[in-house]
Amino acid sequence: MNKKSTFDFSQLNDDTEGAYGEVLSTECKEQVAAGVQHIIDAVNQYVDHEGTRDTPERVARMYDELLAGYVTDPVRMLNNALFTVEYDEMVIVKDIEYYSMCEHHLIPFFGKAHVGYLPDGKVVGLSKIPRLVDIFARRLQVQERMTQQIADLLNELVKPQGVGVVVEGIHLCAAMRGVKKPNAKMVTSAVLGRFRSDPKTREEFMAHLRRDSGVSF
Ligand SMILES: [Zn+2]
């Protein structure tokens, strides 16, 4: 019997909305607005004054969303969505779109994350994995660290036999300036437990990604 096809993930409910969507403090937003105002002031003689009049506050409101990952508690979010099941085949959630901000240049990098784990008595509600990616993406980041953070947290909370995370990213700081390579995709990975120690497990995961998502490595 193929367990993979018989386990119905839709039975896992999802009632932790409250753990997501917090906002930055008013003081924090005011400081972001002040910072943006400084940038505009620096080129004041050239800019369109009418068009940029409300830009500092607008950017601050946007950053509230872009940096929401700092004020969303991933532990609380995942703890509310752990389920005990008899299932020990690999679980893979692929093609999770994310948008993050490069901490070196403050412009976006974005792409897809692919997350797999081998359960050890517990699984996590399916929608929680994309949310976990979101929590770490909505910060000032570097792709390598984000990849590791996703793997570490999943490993810590779900305590599976192993975790694999692969992240693909297009970095606007490499596309718009510097080396100007708009199509260069960066691929990072983090493997823990059986994904690290057992080449067959790792290969099963990678084969899934190569086959269905066209990840090239
Ligand atoms: Zn950068």
Q: Given this model, what pLDDT does residue 76 score?
A: 86
Å from CA of 88 to ligand 1 middle: 39
Q: How far apart are alpha carbons 93 and 64 in whole angstroms?
A: 27
Name residue, tokens 């937003």: 29
Query: Is the confidence at residue 115, as pLDDT, over 70?
Result: yes
Kindly report which listed range (25-29, 99-103, 167-171, 211-215) carries the lowest average pLDDT score: 211-215
Å from CA of 144 to ligand 1 middle: 12
Query: Is the confidence at residue 9, as pLDDT, over 50?
Result: no
Instruction: Specify the CATH class of 82-213 in words.
Output: alpha beta
143 annotated active-site? yes
Å from CA of 189 to ligand 1 middle: 18
Query: Is the confidence at residue 133, as pLDDT, over 50?
Result: yes
Q: Residue 76: count other Cβ atoms within 10 Å of its Cβ.
A: 13
Mean pLDDT value across residues 198-207? 96
Query: Is the confidence at residue 36, as pLDDT, over 60?
Result: yes
Mean pLDDT value across residues 146-175? 96
Dihedral of CA atoms 117, 216, 131, 150 in degrees, nearest 10, equals 60
Q: How many residues does the chain have?
A: 217
For the chain, give every domain's residue range. 26-66, 82-213
Compute the mean pLDDT over every residue in the chain, rounded to the nearest whole number.
87
Dihedral of CA atoms 98, 133, 76, 126 in degrees, nearest 10, equals 100
Of the residues 141, 143, 149, 161, only one is catalytic, namely 143
Å from CA of 98 to ligand 1 middle: 16
Å from CA of 101 to ligand 1 middle: 8
Residue scoring higher pLDDT (182 or 149): 149
28 annotated active-site? no
- The proportion of the chain whose per-residue pLDDT surpasses 90, expressed as a percent, equals 69
Residue scoring higher pLDDT (74 or 21): 74
17 annotated active-site? no
Q: Residues 57-107: pLDDT tens digits? A: 999 999 998 999 998 888 888 888 999 988 889 999 999 999 999 999 999
Q: Given this model, what pLDDT does residue 54 score?
A: 97
Mean pLDDT value across residues 54-58? 96
pLDDT tier, 13 (very low <50, low <70, confident <90, very high otherwise): very low
CATH of domain 26-66: 1.10.286
pLDDT tier, 217 (very low <50, low <70, confident <90, very high otherwise): low
Q: Given this model, what pLDDT does residue 196 score?
A: 97
49 annotated active-site? no
Q: How far apart are alpha carbons 87 and 62 in whole angstroms?
A: 41
Of the residues 37, 57, 144, 173, only one is catalytic, namely 173
Q: How far apart are alpha carbons 151 and 165 in whole angstroms?
A: 6
Query: Is the confidence at residue 40, as pLDDT, over 90?
Result: yes
Q: How far apart are alpha carbons 166 and 197 in whole angstroms?
A: 17
